[in-house]
Homo-oligomer: A and B are copies of this chain.
Amino acid sequence: MFKPFCTRRPLLSYQRLFSTSLQCKKAERQAILVKTPKGTRDYDDKEMVIRQDLFKSITKVFQRHGAVTIDTPVFELTEILSGKYGEESKLIYNLADQGGEQCSLRYDLTVPFARHLAMQGGKEAQMKRYQIAKVYRRDQPIMTKGRLREFVQCDFDIAGQYDPMIPDAEVLKIVSDALDTVKVPFYIKLNHRQLLDGLFQVCGVPQDQVRSISAAIDKLDKMPWEDVKKEMVKERGLSEQIADRIGKYVLQQDSNILDILEKDEVLMQNEDARKGIADIKLLLDYLDIFQVKDRIRIDLSLARGLDYYTGIIYEAIQTEVEGLGSIAAGGRYDNLVGMFAGTNKRGQPKTIPCVGASIGVERLFSLLMARQDIDKVKSNATQVYVISVGDGLLRERMQLVRELWDAGIKASFMFKNKPKLEKQWNVCEKEQIPFAIIIGKDELDNGQVRIKDMRTKSNQGGGITVARKEMIDVLKDKLN
């Protein structure tokens, strides 16, 4: 169990997360404002160790499930992104018009993946792919909560024509496994776009308002029902009566919600609703086999803002730190590839059904940072530091370090002609280098070196003396 990072080590977290703005003040005194752009930040060497470990463990889960990876450009043609993100489209970064094509920074990894699939022209109609890469949103940044304008997404998607709910179940298993690797407690909210559509139809929402009402409902995790209702009625022009009917459904928090819905005769006359419920039931059956069912909570108020979802949708909510929001989300999007792929020879649209999820690694990174004493993280891989006693011996140290490098040993030395012994020890300590090789006049004269294990604080004197030509073997032995 770990504690919310905001209470455990407030100052350091704050400092790290707000490093941009802290530096700002200093920079403002200078002629040129030296900072990163709003909502972006650098990650230093120790933070990068945490991040890369996180990416690596998530990648391991993705690969365990047979995924390959692809890479796509950071920017896309603007029209590729148009009409895919609903009300969020205003947050897209555009490139300046410098002649040539109009481009925008990618907003997620899903639309570029669909564009990539469409460009394969059916060659890759089946694919399990993961991608770990940066995306861009001109949102109001909340750096403490890991909400940045430039942030990394870890996406996993399964594309292909398969039997219902089988790949969907694997995606949820993957989300679950990935979150388990960082040992964060969570549950998964689950809903179905078709169930939601059916429900809206039954309540009397006009077809052309479904997307808009959906977007309002999606705010229920941040706003009380009264405010959402007000928005639907006042801003989106829904009748109060219809809004109340919707409320009766989406506010239900019952673990037997599916049973309740199935007894709702009006709802069950709606084909979309029936299809949605049947899908969820089949999915839960498969999730039981995958031992993920306990994590699932059906939540009719989950709507997801993006336009492209067509089937089940989900969001993983961590329960450790309050107010940090969801840490993974996704759903099925069967028509997105088709929007790019055009039609086949018979004039039928070429579609590739897809289902996927995105892991919110920036928020996981915030959680991991809170658990860690960042100063203790070793960010270099150096195994050996070559130290001289006495007269500098620069050329001799260079010769020695060259032999180590060429033997594949990670080694460093001080870039000084005559470094002080103490300063050399300090580097060993600060950089947490486990071994020192020490040479002085005596060792040189006798064709020897001294090897000292820096991790044993006990007085072991000057280390052990070995013949120069045995140095590599002795070291390799110690390093294994």
Contacts and interface: CB of A to CB of B under 8 A. Distances in A.
A38 B100 contact: yes
A342 B33 CA distance: 10
A83 to B, nearest CB: 10
Contacts of A382: 66
Contact of A119 (B23, B69, B381, B411): B23
Contacts of A40: 73, 75
Contact of A405 (B65, B96, B416): B65
A2 interface: no
B380 A68 contact: yes
A48 B71 contact: yes
A299 to B, nearest CB: 25
Interface in A401-458: 402, 405-406, 408-412, 415-417, 431
Main secondary structure of the interface of A (DSSP, over half): mixed
Contacts of A394: 163, 166
B29 A63 contact: no
A424 to B, nearest CB: 13
A32 interface: yes
- Oligomeric state, in number of copies? 2
Interface of A: 19, 23, 26-27, 29-30, 32-38, 40-45, 48, 51-52, 63-77, 79-80, 93-98, 100-101, 103, 105, 115-116, 118-119, 121, 124, 127-129, 134, 136, 138, 150, 158, 160, 162-163, 166-167, 169-170, 173, 177, 286, 289-291, 339-342, 379-382, 394-395, 398-399, 402, 405-406, 408-412, 415-417, 431
Given A63-B380, A96-B94, A411-B66, A42 B405 contact: no
A415 B37 contact: no
A71 to B, nearest CB: 4
A156 B119 CA distance: 36
